[in-house]
Every structure is written in C-alpha cells, then in structure tokens.
Amino acid sequence: MRKVFIFSVCMLLINASAFSQVRNKYKYEFIGGIGPTGFLGDLGGADQNGSHFIKDYNFNSTRFNVNAGVRYRNNKSPFAFKGMLTYAMVSGNDALTKDFIRHNRNLNFRSPIVELSAQVEYYFLNEKTKSLYSIAGLKSKKKKRKFAPYLFAGIGAFYYNPREKLNGEWYSVRKYHVEGQGLPGGPKQFSNFNVAIPFGLGFRYTLNKRWSIGAEFGYRKTFTDYIDGVSGKYYNKAVLLQAYGPTAVALADPNLGLISGATNAGQERGNPKYKDSYMFFSINVGYKFTKQHRTRAKF
C-alpha cells in the first residue's frame, strides 16, 4: 500500500511538472490587428466650440490603423510587456462641422502616424487554468477562464506629416510654413517627430494554447500641437507671399469670408493651449510561439 501511495504521488508530481512546463512554455506572442483611428485637435470637431476632449470628436473624420508587435507574458505574473508598431491615418476638416467660426476657417488636413511604442499590461482578472487530479485513476481535468481584461500604459515615439488639400492636390503644411514658422515674428518650425504616452484598456480571449483574439482601446497623449498643422495665429500674408509664394498664402487662409477680419494677421488660427491627441481601437489576433529549447523538470 505504501509503495502504491508513493508511486501515485510521484506520478502526480510528474504530471504537474509537465503541465507547468506546457503552461509556461508559451510566453511569447505575435500580435496583429486593425481598427478605426480618431483625432482630437484644432481642425474639424463637433458642432460646437472646440473643447479638445472626447465630446468634441467628429465621427466623420474617423480613419483606420494597422498594428503588429510582440508580447511577453508569464502566466504566473499579472504583468505583460509588449512592443508595438502601428501605422495609422488621422484627419480633420472644418467643412464637416457646423460650428460657425471653424466652418468659416475652412481648413483641412490629413497625416500619417507611424508609432513605435513599449507598453506594460496589467491583468486585473487573469486567465485561470486549474487542474484536478484523481490519484486513483491518475487523470487530470482542467477548468479554464479564457477571458482576461487588462489595463496598459507605456511610452512611444511617432512620425507625422500634416498635409492640406487645395484644389484637389495635397500639400505639405510644414514645407510652406503656413503660420510663418522661421520667419520674422513667427514661431519655430515644428518637427515631424514627437513623443506619445499610450494608455487604455483591452481584453483577450484564449481560443487554444496558441491562438487568441481580443480588442483594445488606447488614447495617445502627445506633446505637439501640430499634428494637424494648426496651432497659433495667422501670419502676415504679404511676408508669407514673398517668402513662399501664393500657394503658401492659399494654404494658410482658405476662409469662406463669412466673418470680416477673422483671418487678419495676429488673429487666432488655432489654440496652442491644448496639445493634439489621437486614439486607436483595434481588433487583435495573437499567436503564441516558443523558443527552440527544452527545459528539464525540477523536483
């Protein structure tokens, strides 16, 4: 009887160790996804005075993003780490809002966003696998929680390049210095690169030991007000014309003429008090993979 008991315990430990190795084997995961992208800035917005918050979002300006990355996760820890590369398009158009002042301004833009970020995820409700063993039959049954919500935050860098549409053609806002960047009395030229702070929430659903699906919503705080190419005041059009030509003047001020004097030099073109931001929502697919080595069971 004692030998049977010792044998049963040994078999139980072997099965538990093997299960533990399988569970912890798949720590690395490829991630890929697609979804809509939103922008909050000076251009476009809801049918009200600009607020630079979610209530100012105009759904007509929604565009799309694609992303890919790698996640590292040990099931024994509530934390995971991932690196992500995302390509997106953002846009805004004063013609899409009924706010009288912004509609008269009549500016528009689109810009690519290429973002590289490192993020930490916190799983406040982790996937759960519980093994129940029958010593007599040496059988194992598993109970699983396949749904796992999480919060995430991180840091990233992104490239952007705002362009404005004029007479059917797209022109680089930065190239034409539309707010007098670098000219006497004008602001400094803005960079095409900036820092983003991504944060948000998501969930994943485990299909099997390798595949999973999920969804994620993330907000990006940035430190630039030029993603849409608009930030400060209207510049002296005569000086702009001399420096960069008639195209620069047309891009700087395509107003509809509904408000007299609204676009004279020194008048507000944008609001530099608030920085631009953007949002990603994506439906993701994950595939777990393993390193090419075996680990020995430890007792």
pLDDT per residue over 3-48, tens digit each? 443 443 344 334 434 334 444 567 899 999 999 999 999 998 776 6
E strand or H helix at 195? strand 193-206
pLDDT per residue over 137-181, tens digit each? 555 555 567 889 999 999 999 999 999 999 999 999 999 999 999
**Amino acid sitting at position 216:** E
Mean pLDDT of 85-110: 95
* Domains contained in the chain, number: 1
Q: Please check whether residue 294 lies inside any domain of the structure.
A: no
**Residue 2 pLDDT grade (very low, low, confident, very high; cuts 50, 70, 90):** very low
Shortest CA distance to 252 belongs to which of 273, 225, 231, 279? 231
For residue 97, the domain's CATH number is 2.40.160.20
Dig out the tokens for 89 from the structure. 């398009």
Question: Any idea what DSSP says for residue 190?
Answer: P
Q: Please check whether residue 252 lies inside any domain of the structure.
A: yes
Q: Please check whether residue 19 lies inside any domain of the structure.
A: yes
Q: Please check whether residue 283 lies inside any domain of the structure.
A: yes
Q: Please check whether residue 297 lies inside any domain of the structure.
A: no
Q: Please check whether residue 298 lies inside any domain of the structure.
A: no
Name the H helices within the chain: 2-25, 100-105, 173-176, 237-244, 246-252
CB atoms within 10 A of CB 40: 28
Q: Please check whether residue 33 lies inside any domain of the structure.
A: yes
Dig out the tokens for 270 from the structure. 């944008």
Q: Is 55 exposed, middle or buried (0-12, 13-18, 19+ CB in 10 A)?
A: exposed
Dig out the tokens for 168 from the structure. 């059917």
> Which residues pair with residue 108 across a beta bridge?
93
Give dist(CA 52, CA 14) in Å, integer. 59
**Residue 111 pLDDT grade (very low, low, confident, very high; cuts 50, 70, 90):** very high
Q: Is 88 exposed, middle or buried (0-12, 13-18, 19+ CB in 10 A)?
A: buried
**Entry pTM:** 0.83
Q: Please check whether residue 296 lies inside any domain of the structure.
A: no
**Is there a contact between 44 and 61 (Cβ–Cβ < 8 Å)?**
yes
Characterize the bridge pairing of strands 147-160 and 193-206. Answer: antiparallel
pLDDT per residue over 190-207, tens digit each? 999 999 999 999 999 999
Region for 200 from its dihedrals, namely left if φ exceeds 0, alpha if ψ lies in -120 to 50, beta otherwise? left
Which residues span the domain enclosing 21? 2-125+134-289
pLDDT at residue 56 in the model: 79
Cα 90 → chain centroid: 11
Phi and psi angles of residue 88, each rounded to the nearest 5 degrees, phi first: -145, 165
Percentage of the chain exceeding pLDDT 70: 80
Mean pLDDT of 283-291: 89
**Amino acid sitting at position 250:** A
